[in-house]
Structure 1
Amino acid sequence: MADIWLLAVIVVSLVFGLMAGVASPATLFLIAAIATYLLDMVTIEAALASFTNASLVTLILLILTTAALEKTSLLGRLSQVIGSDSLPVTMAKLGFSTAILSSFTNNTAVVGSLISVVRRNQTHAPSKLLLPLSYAAILGGTLTLIGTSTNLIVNSFVENAGLTPLGFFEFTQVGLVIVVAGIALLVVLARLLPDTTEGQQDENLPYLLEAKVANHSSLIGSSVQTNKLRALKKLYLVELERSGIRICPVPPQMILQGGDTLRFSGAVESVELLHQFNGLEWFGKQQAKGQNLVEAVLAPSSSLAGSSIKGVRFRERYDAAVMAVRRGQLQLKGGLGDIVLQAGDVLLLTPGDGFSGLQDRNRDFAAVNGLEHNVRLDEPRSHWVLFGFVATIAASLMQWLPLTKGLVLLLISYVAFGAVSINELRRRFPIELVIIVGSALNLAALMLNTGLADNVANGLLDLFGGMGVYAAFIGVYLLTLLLTEMITNNAAAALAFPIAYAMALHFGVDTRPFILAVIFGASASFISPYGYQTNLMVFNAGHYQFSDFVRVGLPLSILYSGIVVLMVPALFPF
C-alpha cells in the first residue's frame, strides 16, 4: 500500500511539473524514474530494460532516417502547391499533401520543412496556412502506426503488457475519415485566421546568389514572370547577364534562354528557393551533397581580403563552395566569383569533408557558424533515399523483413552513399524522447503492478456513475485528450495507457478500443499551442494568439472527437 501512495505522489508531482513547465519533459520523467529506483520500486535491470524496447528502437531509427528524407526533392516540390489558386483550393492541396507525408514520415520534420515554403508564398498570408498545416500533419499521423511518435510509444506499452502489437494499418479506416472530414473543415475555417503579415518587416540580409539557366532547363522559352522568378519572398532577381551584357532591372516579360546568368539578392533561408526550379544551376551546386550550410565571416587579417573568389581558387583551397556573399546591408552587384572580398564579408558555404580540419580556416575566418539550413541531395542520392525508404516499408508490410532490421540496413546505406553523415545522426539522435519513453515505460509498468492504475480506473468509473463500458471508453479518451492539451502528447499517452488498460480489464472486454482511445486522444491537440510540437512551431512562425487556436482548434477537436467515439467502438467492438 505504501508503494501505491509513493508512486501516486511521484505521478501527481510529474503531472503538475509538466503543467507548470518547471523543467523539460525529459528532465521531469527522468527524475520520476530515478525516484522509483531510489525508493526500491524497481530494479536497475528492469529500469534499463525499458530503454531497449523494440518499438522505441524503431522510433529512433525512423527519426534518424528522416534526416536524409528531409534533404530530398520531395518536400521541396510541395512548394508548387502554394500557387495562385484560391485559399480553399490551396488549403485542400496543402492539407492532403501534408497529411499523406505525415503518415509515413516524422510529422515534426514535415512541418519544419514546409514552414519556410508557406512563409515564402506570394498569394496567401502565411498565417492563413501555417496553423492548418500543423493540424493537417497531426491528422495525417492517425493514418498509420509510424505516423507519429505517439503511436509507436503506445505500441511499446502494448508489447510491454504482453498484448498483440498494433498493425501498421490497423486504425487507418478511422484515420481516413478523420483526415478527409478534418481537412474539409479546415478549408472552411482557414478564413477565420488573421492576416499577421501587415506591419511586419522582413529581415534585410542581402546575400548575393548566382545561378545559371542550364540548356535543358524547363525555364527556357518562358518569361521571368511566367517562371515566377520575380518578387519571391526574401529573394529578389536583381540582374540578368546574357552574352556578357548585364540587364538591370530585369523586365518581367523577358524570355529566358539557356546560359543566362541570374543574380538574386536575399536572406539565408532563400537558398532553399533555388531548389524548386528545374534546370537552375546555382553557384556551388557541384559541392552540394545534402550537408548543412555554414556561414563564415572574413577576419580582418584574412589573406582572402582584396581577392576574388575565383582568383583564390576558393573551392580547391578550402574544400568548400561559396553559395552566396553578404556585405552588411549593402546590395552587391556583378558576378559572384568576381566579387573582391573584404574583411567582414559573410560567405555562405557548402563545406566538404576536409573543411573543418584546415589550418587556414582559423586564420582567414573570424567566425564559422553552422546553420540549420541544408542543401538538397543530388538527384541520384535523392532517388535512392526515397526508393530505399519505400522499399523498407513495403518489405515490412509484406513481412519479408522486420521493420527494425530494414531501417538499420537503410540507415547504413544512407551513410555509405553520403546521404547523411555520422555527425548529423549524432546531432539528430532523439535523446530527450528516449528518456521520456524509457522512463514512461517504467512508470506505466509500476502503475499496473502496484494497483495505482486500478485505483484511478475505479475513480473514473465512479465519476461516470457506472454508465457502462462505452461511457468508460469515452472517459478514457477525454482524459487522454485533456492531458494532451495540458502537457504533451507523449506524456499524455504514457500516463493514460495504464489507466485505459486497467479499465478494459475491469470490464473484462477487449483492450483494443481502449488502446485506440489513448492513441487518438493523445493526437487530439488542437486547442492549445503547447500540447503538440508542431503547434508550437507554427505558433511563433505565424505570430498567432492563443485565441486563434481556440477559434479554429475547438470546432476541429469536436469533429475529431465525434468521429473517434463513434467509429472506434463500431470497428473494434468491446
Structure 2
Amino acid sequence: MSPDAWISLATVTIVFLLMGTTRIGADMILLGGVIVLLTLGVIGPQQALAGFSNDGLFTVAFMYVLVASIRETGGMDLIIRYVLGRPRSESGAMARLLLPVSAMSAFLNNTPVVATYVPAVMSWSRRLDLKAHRFLIPLSFASILGGTCSLLGTSTNLVVNGLLAARYPQASLHLFDIAWVGVPVALVGLGYLLFAGRWLLPNRRSAAQAFENPREFTIEMAVDPEGPLVEKTVEEAGLRHLRGLFLVEIERGGNVVSVVGPGEKLKAGDRLVFAGTSEAAIELQQFRGLRPSSLGESNLQKDFRERRLVEAVVSDQCQFIGQRIREGHFRTLYGAAVLAVCRNGERVDGNLGQIRLQPADVLLLEVRPPFIERHRQSRDFLLISQVNGQARPVHEKAWLAWTILVGVVVLASFGVLSMLNAAMLGALASLLTRCCSVGAAKRGLDTQVLLTIGASFGLGAALESSGAAAAVAQQAMTLAGGDPYLMLIGAYVLVALLTEVVTNNAAAVIAFPIVTASAESLGVSVMPFAIAVMFAASASFLTPLGYQTNLMVYGPGGYRFGDFLRVGGPLSVLVGITSLLLIPRIWPF
C-alpha cells in the first residue's frame, strides 16, 4: 500500500477508537480526522467537503423540518391518544404500541418518535397498572425495525442511497425498494418482541417509580417568625452552602419561589424545601431560626404555576458528564435544581452535590416553566418530560402536517419528484402553512448528525482515493476464498459490530467504499453489498450506546447494560439471518 493508504487506515482506526472510548462528539472526531487528512495532502478540499453537498445529507436535513412540523402541531400526540387506548392484557398493550411505532418510523426519524412516546408510555403503563420497563426497550427496537422499511426510515438509508446514486447512478433506489427486505425483517423482529423478547427483561423499577414519593428526597422546614432569619437573604442566613443540602424552593403565601437565588429574602412563615440526604436534615433541625414544617401534603405534590417538576435523561454529550453536580454549577447554568438522580432503576443515595453524572442518568429537576421549551432540543439532555404533565394539546393543524408528509411520500414513491425535491417541497409547505415556525425548524435540525454524515464522506473518500479500500477489500476477498456470499456475511457482521460502538452513519459511510471495492474485485454486483451495509448499520440492538433511541429508554426504564444484550442479542441474530437470506434473492450477485 502507498503511504497515503497507510495514513488513511491509521486515521480511520484512530477515529473509530476515539468514538468508541471517549465522550467527545462523533462530529468533532470525524471533522478532526478530515482536517488531518486534508493537512497531510491525502485528500483535497473538494473531497473533504463533498459530503456537505451530498443529496442524502440535504434530504435528511429537510426531513428534520417535516418531523418538526409533526411535533409542533401535536401530530404524534394525536396518534398516541387514539391508538394506545386501554388494552385488556399486556400482550394487547404491546401490540398496540409496537405496530404503530414501527409504521411511523418507516417515514419519520426514529428519535422524535421515541422521544414523544416515552413519557406517554410511562403515563399509560401507570394507568393500566403495567410495568413501564416491559415496553421501553421494545419501543426503541420497534422504531429501529420500522426504519428499515423505506428510505425515509433512517438517515443512514438516505445517506447510503446518496452514495449509490453518486457512484453508480443506475443503481439509485426508489423509496420502497428496500421494503422487500425491510418488511420481512420488521415482521420477524416484531414477532420476536411480541412473543419472546419481552419475557427476557428483568423485573426492575423504572425511574418514575424511583421518584414517586417526594418525601424520600426532600426535607421541609419553616422560617420561625420570631427567629433571626426573617428579612435576611439566603446567603446572609447561611443557607446557600450547606453540606449535603440544596435549598430548592420557598413556598410563601400560596405561591412558590422556585430555583432560589442567593439574594432572595426570607419572610416570616416561609416554608423552605431542601433536597439532600436524610442525615443532613439533622443539621437543619439545629439551625437557629428554622423549625420543622407543619405536617400535611408535601410541597412537591402541590401544583404551582411558577414551578414544574421534570425528568431529564442525561445525554452522552452532556458537558457535566464525569463532574460533580455542585462543582459543575448545574443550577447556575440551567436554572434548574436537582432533587434526585436515578441510575439503573435505583435512586442514587448520598450527598447530591457529590454525585458524578453519567450518560443515561435520569434527573428529577425542579424548573421554571420556560426551561422545558428552552432545553427540549438541548444536546445535554436526550429527553425531557414533565412529571405527571398533560400531553401536549392536539392543534388544529395536525392533520395538515400529516397531509404534507403523506404528499412527500406519494411524490417520492411514484417517481414524480426525487426524494430530495419532495422533501424540500414538503419542508417549504410546512413553513408556509405555519405548521412549523422557522425557529422550530432550526431547533429541529440535528446538527451533530448532519456534521457526522458530512465528515464521514471525507474519510470514505480518503480510503477510496488512496487505495486503502481496495487493499482491504483484496485481503477480505482472500479470507472469503472468493465466495461473494461469505464476503456479504463478513461485510454485514463488520458493519453491525461497528454500529454498536460508533454512530450508524459513520459506520455505513466509511465501510461503503471498502465493501463496494470488494464487490468490484469479485466482479459481482455492488447492490447486495450496499443493501447489507444499510441494514447492518441499522441493527443496533446489543448496547444502549449503539443508537440514540436505546440511550433514551435506558435511564427511564431502569435498565442495565446487559439487558440490551439479553433482549437484543437474539434479535440481532434473527435480523441478520433474515437480511442475509433475502438480500441476495432480491439483488442477485
Q: Deviations over 1:325-381 (max 9, x none)?
A: x9952635xxxxxx9x8xxx4389xxxxxxxxxxxxxxxx99953432697565431
Structure 2 counterpart of 1:81:
84
Structure 1 counterpart of 2:319:
none
Alpha-carbon distance between aligned partners in 2 of 1:198 and 1:37, rounded to the nearest angstrom: 48
1:172 to 173, 179, 189: 179
The within-5 A match list for 1:395-434 is: 395-434=411-450
The 8 Å contact of residues 72 and 386 in structure 1, kept in 2 or not, is answered as no
The 8 Å contact of residues 72 and 376 in structure 1, kept in 2 or not, is answered as no
Alpha-carbon distance between aligned partners in 2 of 1:347 and 1:330, rounded to the nearest angstrom: 11
- 1:178–1:347 CA distance, 2 compared to 1 (3 A): closer
- 1:198–1:7 CA distance, 2 compared to 1 (3 A): closer
The 8 Å contact of residues 176 and 413 in structure 2, kept in 1 or not, is answered as no
1:346 to 283, 307, 310: 307
In structure 2, give the amino acid aligned to 1:202. Answer: F
Structure 2 counterpart of 1:251:
none
In structure 2, give the amino acid aligned to 1:90. Answer: A
Alpha-carbon distance between aligned partners in 2 of 1:565 and 1:472, rounded to the nearest angstrom: 11
Structure 1 counterpart of 2:201:
193
TM-score (norm 2): 0.69
In structure 1, give the amino acid aligned to 2:554. Answer: F
The within-5 A match list for 1:463-482 is: 463-464=479-480, 466=481, 468-482=483-497
In structure 2, give the amino acid aligned to 1:428. Answer: G
Alpha-carbon distance between aligned partners in 2 of 1:151 and 1:366, rounded to the nearest angstrom: 40
In structure 2, give the amino acid aligned to 1:102. Answer: S
Alpha-carbon distance between aligned partners in 1 of 2:369 and 2:587, rounded to the nearest angstrom: 59
Alpha-carbon distance between aligned partners in 2 of 1:388 and 1:37, rounded to the nearest angstrom: 41
TM-score (norm 1): 0.71
- 1:412–1:328 CA distance, 2 compared to 1 (3 A): farther
In structure 2, give the amino acid aligned to 1:93. Answer: R
How big is the shift at 1:198? 7.2
Q: Deviations over 1:282-313 (max 9, x none)?
A: xxxxxxxxxxxxx9999979xxxxxxxxxxxx
Structure 2 counterpart of 1:494:
509
Structure 2 counterpart of 1:102:
105
The 8 Å contact of residues 185 and 556 in structure 1, kept in 2 or not, is answered as yes
> Greater relative contact order (Cα 8 A, min sep 6): structure 1 or 2?
2
How big is the shift at 1:166? 1.8
Q: Deviations over 1:147-202 (max 9, x none)?
A: 01111111122123234322211110111111111111111220221232379333
Alpha-carbon distance between aligned partners in 2 of 1:369 and 1:534, rounded to the nearest angstrom: 22
In structure 1, give the amino acid aligned to 2:460. Answer: A
- 1:543–1:367 CA distance, 2 compared to 1 (3 A): closer
Structure 2 counterpart of 1:60:
61
Alpha-carbon distance between aligned partners in 2 of 1:514 and 1:405, rounded to the nearest angstrom: 27
In structure 2, give the amino acid aligned to 1:331. Answer: K
The 8 Å contact of residues 111 and 534 in structure 1, kept in 2 or not, is answered as yes
Q: Deviations over 1:5-62 (max 9, x none)?
A: 1111111111111111251111110001111111112222332232011111011000
The within-5 A match list for 1:335-374 is: 345-346=306-307, 368-371=370-373, 372=376
In structure 2, give the amino acid aligned to 1:346. Answer: R
The within-5 A match list for 1:508-527 is: 508-527=523-542
Give the number of equivalent residue pairs: 435
Alpha-carbon distance between aligned partners in 1 of 2:585 and 2:417, rounded to the nearest angstrom: 32
Structure 2 counterpart of 1:129:
135
Alpha-carbon distance between aligned partners in 2 of 1:421 and 1:498, rounded to the nearest angstrom: 39
- Look up the SS of the partner of 1:528 in the other structure: coil
In structure 2, give the amino acid aligned to 1:183. Answer: L
- Look up the SS of the partner of 1:423 in the other structure: helix
Alpha-carbon distance between aligned partners in 1 of 2:299 and 2:264, rounded to the nearest angstrom: 15
The 8 Å contact of residues 296 and 369 in structure 1, kept in 2 or not, is answered as no
Q: Deviations over 1:445-474 (max 9, x none)?
A: 22112111111112222333x051111111
Structure 2 counterpart of 1:242:
none
The within-5 A match list for 1:110-121 is: 110-121=113-124
Structure 2 stretches lacking a partner, 5+ long: 216-257, 266-296, 310-366, 377-384
Structure 1 counterpart of 2:15:
14
Q: Name which of structure 1's ranges 72-81 and 149-158 shifts more when overlaid on structure 2.
A: 72-81
How big is the shift at 1:423? 1.7
Q: Deviations over 1:225-281 (max 9, x none)?
A: xxxxxxxxxxxxxxxxxxxxxxxxxxxxxxxxxxxxxxxxxxxxxxxxxxxxxxxxx
Alpha-carbon distance between aligned partners in 1 of 2:407 and 2:525, rounded to the nearest angstrom: 34
Structure 1 counterpart of 2:458:
442
- 1:368–1:525 CA distance, 2 compared to 1 (3 A): closer
The 8 Å contact of residues 99 and 136 in structure 1, kept in 2 or not, is answered as yes
How big is the shift at 1:391? 1.1
Structure 2 counterpart of 1:90:
93
In structure 1, give the amino acid aligned to 2:203. Answer: D
Q: Deviations over 1:422-453 (max 9, x none)?
A: 22222222221221111111211221121111
Alpha-carbon distance between aligned partners in 2 of 1:99 and 1:366, rounded to the nearest angstrom: 35
- 1:416–1:387 CA distance, 2 compared to 1 (3 A): same
The 8 Å contact of residues 296 and 347 in structure 1, kept in 2 or not, is answered as no
Structure 2 counterpart of 1:267:
none
Structure 2 counterpart of 1:34:
35
- 1:455–1:71 CA distance, 2 compared to 1 (3 A): same
Structure 2 counterpart of 1:264:
none
- Cα RMSD for the two superposed structures: 2.8
How big is the shift at 1:96? 1.4
How big is the shift at 1:548? 1.0
- Look up the SS of the partner of 2:371 in the other structure: strand
- 1:75–1:568 CA distance, 2 compared to 1 (3 A): same
The 8 Å contact of residues 73 and 435 in structure 2, kept in 1 or not, is answered as no
- Look up the SS of the partner of 1:541 in the other structure: coil
The 8 Å contact of residues 11 and 33 in structure 2, kept in 1 or not, is answered as yes
Alpha-carbon distance between aligned partners in 2 of 1:153 and 1:366, rounded to the nearest angstrom: 40
The question of 1:565 aligning with 2:580 is answered yes
In structure 2, give the amino acid aligned to 1:193. Answer: L
The 8 Å contact of residues 501 and 511 in structure 1, kept in 2 or not, is answered as yes
Alpha-carbon distance between aligned partners in 1 of 2:419 and 2:184, rounded to the nearest angstrom: 27
Q: Percent identity?
A: 31
In structure 2, give the amino acid aligned to 1:522. Answer: A
